[in-house]
Amino acid sequence: MQTKNIIIIGAGPAGLSCAIELKKISNYNVIIIEKNPEISYKVCAGGISPNTFEIDIPKEIIDREFNEMSVFTKTQSIFIRENKAIVATINRKTLHEYMAKKAKELGVKILFKKNIKKINNQSVTTSLGEKFEFDYLIGADGSNSIVRKNLNIKTKKLLTAFQYMIPGNYSHIEFHIDPDEFGFSYAWVFPQKNVISVGTGYDLNFSKKDFSVMDLRNNFETWCKKKFNLENAKFEAFSINYDYRGFEFGNIFLAGDAAGFASGLTGEGIRFAILSGKDIARKIINPKYKVKEIKHILKIKKRGENLVKLINYNEFLGKKIIELFAFFLKTKIGKKLAAKVL
């Protein structure tokens, strides 16, 4: 096999999984270029579904596992308990460090403190003028992707997401769905090891005219203060791109949030970043590969985002659908339905 140069921008889950897969199945030179000075934390609640265990995340690096969770709506409190884990939490730095170690062992080079500013069909250039030539480029550079911008791909569907990281421990995973407080989205409580992520995310394109991002933040903060002591909490915010418009553009590919693979329903993106990165590696090595993971992600995204559209179509109807959906979560059929969009 002829050796080629592959440049991946971004050492997050999408970039790292792509690099690992490329090295597993080829002898290509794989370089990850990362703007941070080291493998870093990313603003995230760290919630993962047990399906993610099946994609190379060992249980040893999981923070906490839960076989129960609570869903609260305006009129219902639903408690779900299973005899196996249904949600887990992970620290993002731990995840990235684990994946980076694996990538390095396979021969991937990771270059830090290099902020890519310019891109053409053969090379990328950093803010300091360093140039790297490539045969293939993968933009795994997150929601504000410079590779995506360079391809002139618009981003219209974005979740504005924020969270408090509150020092301490909490026993429960919770979802709070209250359209009057958070719009047609939800607030989460995801306990990690010694810290609790409490946050919300919403696509403001769906909001009423007089509901701004500041209203969402104020409502969230008031709600949060009733439940938790925020004195030593850290406020964090970032966007989640779920505006998928393709992943393959000649010799340039987009993976993870850069491509908009996150779910517009839940904001979940770690699993989809890992899977899309893997599939892109397989596609580069074998152009006939049918990208089965990406097709699966797109199917889940479509179902979830259709549900979001339906809920937002009419406020009265939206509230009824949420209550009905929550009610059915107690049943086997409801759980099966939920699994199709999550």
Name the site residues for ligand FAD (rule: CB under 6 A).
Answer: 9-15, 33-36, 42-48, 115-116, 140-142, 146, 161-163, 199, 238, 240, 256-258, 262, 267-271, 273
Residue type, 112: F
**What is the smallest separation between the CB atom of 214 and ligand FAD, expressed in angstroms?**
17
**What is the smallest separation between the CB atom of 320 and ligand FAD, expressed in angstroms?**
27
Closest to ligand FAD by CB, 183 vs 269, is 269
**What is the smallest separation between the CB atom of 1 and ligand FAD, expressed in angstroms?**
27
**What is the smallest separation between the CB atom of 316 and ligand FAD, expressed in angstroms?**
29
- Residue 96's alpha-carbon distances to 99, 118, 211, in angstroms, are 5, 25, 36
**What is the smallest separation between the CB atom of 160 and ligand FAD, expressed in angstroms?**
9
The CB-nearest residue to ligand FAD is 269
Q: What tokens does 188 get?
A: 């989460």
Closest to ligand FAD by CB, 237 vs 324, is 237
**What is the smallest separation between the CB atom of 312 and ligand FAD, expressed in angstroms?**
20
The Cα 198–Cα 88 span in angstroms is 15
The Cα 223–Cα 113 span in angstroms is 39
DSSP 325: H
DSSP 84: S
Percent of residues in the chain assigned helix, strand, coil, to nearest 5: 35, 25, 35
Closest to ligand FAD by CB, 42 vs 319, is 42
Closest to ligand FAD by CB, 270 vs 319, is 270
Going by their DSSP bridges, the two strands 136-139 and 252-254 should be labelled as: parallel
**What is the smallest separation between the CB atom of 340 and ligand FAD, expressed in angstroms?**
17
Phi, psi angles (nearest 5°) of residue 272: -70, -30
Closest to ligand FAD by CB, 280 vs 319, is 280
Closest to ligand FAD by CB, 47 vs 304, is 47
**What is the smallest separation between the CB atom of 306 and ligand FAD, expressed in angstroms?**
20
Residue type, 46: G
The Cα 145–Cα 256 span in angstroms is 10
The Cα 101–Cα 214 span in angstroms is 40
Closest to ligand FAD by CB, 57 vs 262, is 262
**What is the smallest separation between the CB atom of 75 and ligand FAD, expressed in angstroms?**
26
- For residue 163, give every residue at least 6 positions away whose Cβ sits within 8 Å of its Cβ, in sequence order, or none: 43, 45, 197, 198, 199, 200, 235, 236, 237
Cβ pair 9, 249 in contact under 8 A: no
Closest to ligand FAD by CB, 162 vs 202, is 162
Closest to ligand FAD by CB, 142 vs 319, is 142
Select from 289, 341, 277, 286 the least CA-distant residue to 19. 277
Select from 161, 175, 192 the least CA-distant residue to 93. 192
